[in-house]
Amino acid sequence: MVTRIVRPALALSVIFALFAGTAQGATTPKPTSTSTTKPTVKATTKPTVKATTKPAATKKPVVKKKAVVRKPIVQRKSATLKPTPKPVWPPKGFRVNGEIYARVPTASELLAILSTDKKLTAVAKQCITKACGVVRLASTKGCTWWEILSTVRGPASTTDATTIVRGNLRTTAASTQPKQVVTVYLISSEPLTPKTSLGGLSISCYHSPVAEKIPSNSYVPTVKATPSESPTPTATESPSAEPSPTATSG
């Protein structure tokens, strides 16, 4: 009986020893980890950037420019020179006798003529204080010179308003071409007074050579002016009577 009990015990002890040895053999030693020294990374010190405070920009006052007003460019039309119109023949409103045409211009016609003729304007200034007349002349054949006879009429005196012939005037004018119209001033030396007029015209066209100074005005008074008479400048009066042209060949 005892033997039976001991053997199991031995067996158990052997088994235990086997198990213990097996357990010890089974446990593999763990490798000891040797700490490897890692290279220490030194932090590089970055330079500290200091914020520089910039001075605040001062705003310049905005200068408003004055608006330049440009005038629109106006294209000027080039002046085209119109040809001088040919004079109408026979001239309108003229009285005719043979080859001679004559007419006393109206005030408006005379102003239009003077506005384009400076020489004639200078002649007309003599009529501010003198009794004058104006006549327009033309001839179909032309004339080497002209002769115009006329009479100056006016009041007898400052106290007598009766109209009488105050004097006779002879006027000569220069040559004209065929169908050329000219304006001739008949200038007397009679002082210009109210109601003084020049008329009774007799016109001659000459084809003979000139034998005297032309142009000219020769006045012969028939009444002597009294000391009480003094000229009163007024507007120049045109001849009251239409001219009676007469063709004269020299």
- Per-residue pLDDT reduced to its tens digit, 17-59: 444 444 444 444 454 444 445 555 455 555 555 555 566 666 6
- Residue 69: its pLDDT value, please? 72
The arithmetic mean of pLDDT across residues 156-177, rounded, is 95
pLDDT above 90 for 10: no
The per-residue pLDDT of the chain, averaged, comes to 77
CB 134 within 8 A of CB 127: no
pLDDT band at 235 (very low <50, low <70, confident <90, very high): very low
pLDDT above 90 for 66: no
Give residue limits of the domains in the chain. 95-247
Weakest mean pLDDT among 55-69, 82-96, 98-112, 232-246: 232-246
Beta strands in the chain (DSSP E): 95-97, 100-103, 130-139, 145-155, 163-173, 182-191, 197-206, 216-221, 244-247
Beta strands in 47-162 (DSSP E): 95-97, 100-103, 130-139, 145-155
- Residue 145: its pLDDT value, please? 98
What is d(CA 95, CA 181) in angstroms, rounded to the nearest whole number? Answer: 13
pTM exceeds 0.75 for this model: no
- Could you report the per-residue pLDDT of 69-88, keeping only the tens digit for each? 777 776 766 656 555 567 78
68's tokens: 């330049």
- Residue 88: its pLDDT value, please? 87
